[in-house]
């Protein structure tokens, strides 16, 4: 009991000690805060780096090279503003208007330049008040410009498609949009006739697919721009079956043989076409939708005539013909 009483009597002393520690800590923190406020209220100089963005470039020009892609501004402002600039999510770039650049001939080529002093005037329009630009690095910025051009080019699918057994592509691969406008240096755009989607691979397809795909830049080191950066690819897939149809043969002769053609007899006079058709279209296809023609016998030196497909439905794929040729005789 006596030991317990001693511990109880010690508690107030410990509490007072902790209170003194807390008070001391609070005064230290307040002192640091006041010191920080005083420091941040004073003017400071510091470097501030931003990426360069040249705006309002004429539509018939394109920038192909820039001497520096970043600019370092030595600024003077109060500490609070400097602290805010360093931590805030302001745009990491500075816009420089193309109209501020001056033309110059350099190594026989037309270039444009802007001095640090001129750039500072441009930049001062967008920075906050009470912020002074002391200096800029680099002190001169050069641009290389070429005549711009644009062209409408086709977008083509790039990749591989593997279908499940009995399934095939139905129609064509549809790309939306199927063409885009490519803009850039005239000599580069002239060499672009088409662009491709990103490489895509599909395995065991048995259902239609719709996917988004980016466009591959054919000249990644050149300043090209595209009217669209993504396209939608639609691959229609259906189940197919094999079937056949018997089709009569027709002569592929000019009108001058019209009277003589009636004296020609073919053996055989028809051929069988074996083809693939989607199950959904099976009942819509008939023999009247096919046409087979043979070479004109009056223009051949032997009695064997090759058979060719003259017309067929767009939704079928011909596998083979039997036979692929025929013979003839002339009646007197």
188 in a domain, yes or no? yes
Residue 163's domain comprises: 148-238
Q: Are residues 197 and 269 in the same domain?
A: no
Domain end call among 126, 146, 166? 146
Q: Among all chains, which residue has been given the structure tokens 């076409």?
A: 273
Residues paired with 245 in a beta bridge:
273
81 in a domain, yes or no? yes
Domain end call among 146, 169, 201? 146
Q: Are residues 203 and 227 in the same domain?
A: yes
195 in a domain, yes or no? yes
Confidence at 243, pLDDT banded by 50, 70, 90: very high
Domain end call among 220, 238, 256? 238
19 in a domain, yes or no? no
Domain with residue 280: its CATH number is 2.170.120.30
**Is the pLDDT assigned to residue 317 strictly greater than 90?**
yes
Of 4-18, 189-203, 305-319, the poorest mean pLDDT is in: 4-18
Q: Are residues 232 and 246 in the same domain?
A: no
Tell me the per-residue pLDDT of 201-227, one tens digit each, with 9 for 90 and over: 999 999 999 999 999 999 999 999 999
For 284, what's the count of Cα atoms within 13 Å in the CB-facing half-sphere? 10
286 in a domain, yes or no? yes
Q: What is the pLDDT of residue 95?
A: 84
Among the listed residues 135, 141, 138, the one whose alpha carbon sits nearest the alpha carbon of residue 120: 135
Structural domains of the chain, count: 3
Cα separation, 203 vs 207, in Å, equals 11
- For residue 32, what are the contacts with CB-CB under 8 A and spacing of at least 6? none
Determine if the pTM surpasses 0.75.
no
Q: Are residues 73 and 123 in the same domain?
A: yes
């Amino acid at each position: 009991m006596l030991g317990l009483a001693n511990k109880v009597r010690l508690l107030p002393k410990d509490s007072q000690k902790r209170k003194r520690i807390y008070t001391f800590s609070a005064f230290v923190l307040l002192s640091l805060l006041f010191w920080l406020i005083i420091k941040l209220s004073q003017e400071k100089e510091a470097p501030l780096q931003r990426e360069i963005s040249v705006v309002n470039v004429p539509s018939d020009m394109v920038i192909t090279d820039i001497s520096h892609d970043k600019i370092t501004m030595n600024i003077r402002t109060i500490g609070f503003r400097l602290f805010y600039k360093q931590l805030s999510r302001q745009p990491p770039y500075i816009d420089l208007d193309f109209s501020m650049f001056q033309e110059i001939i350099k190594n026989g080529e037309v270039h444009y330049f802007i001095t640090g002093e001129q750039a500072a005037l441009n930049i001062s329009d967008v920075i906050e008040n009470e912020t002074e630009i002391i200096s800029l690095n680099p002190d001169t910025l050069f641009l290389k410009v070429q005549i711009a051009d644009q062209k409408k080019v086709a977008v083509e699918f790039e990749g591989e498609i593997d279908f499940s057994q009995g399934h095939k592509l139905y129609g064509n691969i549809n790309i939306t949009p199927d063409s885009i406008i490519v803009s850039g240096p005239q000599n580069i755009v002239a060499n672009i006739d088409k662009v491709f989607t990103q490489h895509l691979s599909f395995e065991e397809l048995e259902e239609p697919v719709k996917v988004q795909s980016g466009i591959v830049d054919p000249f990644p080191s050149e300043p090209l721009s595209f009217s669209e950066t993504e396209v939608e690819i639609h691959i229609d897939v259906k189940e197919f079956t094999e079937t056949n149809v018997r089709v009569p043969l027709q002569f592929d002769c000019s009108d001058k043989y019209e009277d003589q053609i009636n004296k020609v007899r073919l053996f055989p006079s028809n051929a069988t076409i074996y083809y693939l058709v989607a199950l959904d279209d099976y009942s819509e296809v008939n023999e009247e939708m096919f046409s087979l023609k043979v070479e004109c016998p009056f223009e051949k030196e032997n009695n064997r005539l090759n058979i060719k497909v003259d017309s067929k439905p767009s939704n079928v794929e011909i596998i083979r013909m039997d036979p692929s040729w025929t013979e003839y005789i002339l009646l007197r």
